[in-house]
Amino acid sequence: MAREDLEAYRARWRTVEAYLRAELRSATPEAKLHQLWSLMQSVDAMGLTAALADDGPVWQRWSRLRSRLGRRP
């Protein structure tokens, strides 16, 4: 990929990211709750509930990361 193409690609993604940030900031709490509910429903629909149920290892990793950064777990 040529340097100019890469710079144009990055510029387009910066535009997309700015739009998404603005959209998130302007969303009402009701809209955010609706998005969360939709996400939770998609987890159930895809049968991922059992896979996400065991979050113990995730919390252990998160705790280790926080402690390494000097923050309380």
How does 7-37 read in b/e, with b if 16+ C-beta sit within 10 Å? eeeeeeeeeeeeeeeeeeeeeeeeeeeeeee
- Asked if the structure places residue 26 within a domain, the reply is yes
Look at residue 46 and tell me if it is in a domain.
yes
Look at 12-16, 23-27, 46-50, 63-67 and tell me which has the smallest mean pLDDT.
46-50
Q: pTM to 2 decimals?
A: 0.48
Is 63 a residue whose pLDDT tops 60?
yes
Residue range of the domain that includes 10: 3-68
Q: Please check whether residue 73 lies inside any domain of the structure.
A: no
pLDDT in tens, 31-42: 999 999 998 899
Number of domains in the chain: 1
